[in-house]
Amino acid sequence: MSNERTPPFRAEHIGSLLRPRSLLEQRARFARGEIGRDELRKAEDAAIVEAIRLQEQLGFEFVTDGEFRRRSYHSYFYQQLGDLQIDAVPQNEAEGGRGAQPAGSVRSKVKWSKPINVDDYRFLQAHSDRLPKLTIPGPCALHFRAGGAEVLATAYSDLDQFWDDTVEAFTKELNALAEAGCRYIQIDETAFAKFGDPEVQRQLAARGDDWSVLIDTYIDVTNRLLRNAPADMRIGMHLCRGNRGGHWHAEGSYEEVADRLFNRLNIDCFFLEYDSPRAGDFSPLRYMPKNKTAILGLISTKTPALEDKGVLIKKIEDAVRYVPLDRLGLSPQCGFASIDSGNPVTADVQAAKLRLVVDVANEVWGAA
């Protein structure tokens, strides 16, 4: 890591930002047929430019579009690959606490037909001199949500073909982004952080999936994609235990998955949720190889309370027992709006937490 616009940076955030109320209102009007696609696009453009300026003013070395054109961090992407659903959720859940795991369905083959996020990259490139970071869902997210039985009951007779199609689709998207000039990608693959939860293990077993076997399968599939990825593209992976309107989906340490995850998965930067005791302690970081970086997600996007700078610095010092300081960075544990309705925090709280990331990074590392 360096201060020369080479990702990952000391100060990071995961990508999604709170949608302005004005944008949500325009999206609702579009859904009711009161405005057209062009007018909605103008509203998105204006909101994204404001989000870019916020990130620049706070001192980040990169910018995202806040994921303002998406309903959720992964639904739009997968919908472009076929008749696929990844985020069916129960209604009327209580606020906070464990939420029900969203479900997926596979009603067609997985097929890439056109660039999905290239225009998003180009918009960022045209409106900022900072490095654009694009976020995409992980290639195993659909299988984790749907399950192998669902895949085989509908569109596929062979799981190997499902994985081949998935890897091919994601490879084509990465190549399209690279051709447009994109060099910084964050893969959001939350399954790995959830495998250590006994309740998640039980749910997987009930549908016929062995959680430990799935880890190996998901590592192999992801590594196939990474082998196909452009050599000069920096790719990090974000892991968390669920982040939807203040809910979470899993709890438990990284301990059960850390050795395989950090050593077998060919990702050189991990964005790790560490904002609450649900994530366990830093000891699983002892498995982190010497050539890999950990971005510590110590700041919560789920709650409005602003973290104490001294406490954050002490936590970073604790993590240094396992990973040297020069291979660490800081971020919130997840995005502020994994779905468009956002987490239960205000725009002012969001800005304060992002400013805190940059301030701590400058104090600890001398650079953001």
Sequence spans of domains, the chain? 21-365
Q: Which of 239, 242, 238 is nearest to 199 (CA)?
A: 242
Neighbours of 43 (CB within 10 A): 20
Give every CB contact of residue 60 below 8 A, 6+ residues apart in sequence: 9, 11, 12, 13, 130, 354, 358, 368
Confidence of residue 253 (pLDDT cuts 50, 70, 90): confident
Question: Residue 223: enclosing H or E segment and its boundaries?
Answer: helix 211-228
Whole-number pLDDT of residue 74: 79
| 281-293 average pLDDT score | 97
Place of tokens 């900022």: 128
Residue type (1 letter), 307: E
Contact 26, 71 (CB under 8 A): no
Residue 94 has pLDDT above 60, yes or no: no
Pairing of strands 103-106, 84-88: antiparallel
Q: Classify domain 21-365 at the CATH topology level.
A: TIM Barrel (3.20.20)
Place of tokens 């994204």: 48
Residue 95 has pLDDT above 60, yes or no: no
Contact 267, 258 (CB under 8 A): no
Give every CB contact of residue 32 below 8 A, 6+ residues apart in sequence: none
185-236 pLDDT tens trace: 999 998 898 898 899 999 999 999 999 999 999 999 999 999 999 999 999 9
Confidence of residue 3 (pLDDT cuts 50, 70, 90): very low
Whole-number pLDDT of residue 315: 98
The DSSP annotation for 188-204 comes to E-THHHHTT-HHHHHHH
Confidence of residue 245 (pLDDT cuts 50, 70, 90): low
Place of tokens 């950990």: 294
Q: Angle at the Cα of 291 (from 286 to 296), degrees rounded to 5?
A: 55
Whole-number pLDDT of residue 213: 95
Residue type (1 letter), 142: L
54-65 pLDDT tens trace: 999 999 999 999
| 14-24 average pLDDT score | 96
Mean pLDDT over the full length of the chain: 92
Residue 89 has pLDDT above 70, yes or no: no
The terminus-to-terminus CA distance of the chain in angstroms comes to: 10
122-180 pLDDT tens trace: 999 999 999 999 999 999 999 999 999 999 998 999 999 999 999 999 999 999 999 99
Q: What distance in Å separates the CA atoms of residue 228 and residue 216, rounded to the nearest whole number?
A: 19
Whole-number pLDDT of residue 298: 98
Q: What distance in Å separates the CA atoms of residue 256 and residue 228, rounded to the nearest whole number?
A: 28
Q: What share of the chain is helix, strand, coil (3-state, %, to 5)?
A: 45, 15, 40
Residue type (1 letter), 156: Y
pTM of the model: 0.92
| Partners of 69 in beta bridges | none
Residue 85 has pLDDT above 70, yes or no: yes
Q: What distance in Å separates the CA atoms of residue 196 and residue 199, rounded to the nearest whole number?
A: 9
Give every CB contact of residue 232 below 8 A, 6+ residues apart in sequence: 178, 183
Whole-number pLDDT of residue 2: 37
Whole-number pLDDT of residue 361: 98
